[in-house]
Amino acid sequence: MDAPKQVNQELDFNDLVKNYYTPLFRFAYSLAGNQEDACDLTQQTFYIWATKGSSLRDSSKVKSWLFTSLYREFLRVRRRGQKMVSYEPELLESETPPVTPDYVSSLDAAGAVESLAEVDEIYRAPIALFYLKDLSYKEIAAALDLPIGTVMSRLSRGKTQLREILVRKEKGTRSPAQLDESGGNKI
């Protein structure tokens, strides 16, 4: 985990942006699944910081504050713009399907994000933060406002789902939803 420059109230805004915009963009991209929305989310996060961040008293929490704000902004935008997708966590299989290690290595970054974007949203944020390694477990729990135990169970389930998606992609099959959309292979 990298350690960006220690910040305080005199921190220059430009330095703050330079220190954090890349990890925040990666998190935004992992959540939104496309570059345009990820750019908007990242920019909006710094805008929120510029207008409200000076009220943050504990300078050691700037990084968590930024990740939390980005996540809230993602939820806010999505809530305003899209219909909600229900989920059934209890239906998830606990058995992890095997993925050929070479397959992960063969993916490009966009392919990895594409796979992550197919994971149920409830699991996507914990998994993205887990893999990006910008935040510790405690910070992930704080950013998502969840107990650590819940973070871990969501990680476990989410990673299982991610594996299923990767296995499906590796086999070159399409999801049932995609099959429905195309009209082909529908029973």
9 binds another protein (CB under 8 A): yes
Nearest CA to 134 among 55, 70, 51? 70
| 25 touches 42 (CB < 8 A) | yes
CB atoms within 10 A of CB 41: 22
Find the binding residues for another protein in span 82-111 (CB under 8 A): 84, 86-87, 94-96, 98-99, 101, 104-105, 107-109, 111
Which residues between 109 and 138 bind another protein (CB under 8 A)? 109, 111-113, 116, 121-122, 128, 130-133, 136-138
21, 46 in Cβ contact below 8 A? yes
Q: Is 15 in the site for another protein (CB under 8 A)?
A: no
Tell me which DSSP letter residue 4 carries. P
Q: Side-chain half-sphere of 37: how many Cα atoms within 13 Å?
A: 18
| CB closer to another protein out of 96 and 174 | 96
Q: Mask: binding to another protein, 47-86, rule CB under 8 A, as x and -?
A: x--xx-xx-------------x--xx--xx-xxx---x-x
Cα separation of 128 and 151, whole Å? Answer: 12
Give the pair of three-digit tokens for residue 48: 């929120």
For residues 6 and 51, which CB has a smaller minimum distance to another protein in the complex? Answer: 51
Looking at residues 18 to 47 of the shown chain, list those that interact with another protein (rule: CB under 8 A). Answer: 18, 21-22, 25-26, 29-30, 35, 38-39, 42-43, 46-47
> Contact at 8 Å (CB) between 49 and 16?
yes
Would you say 72 or 174 has its CB closer to another protein?
72
Q: How far is the CB of 6 from another protein (least distance, A)?
A: 18
How many positions of this chain bind another protein (CB under 8 A)? 72
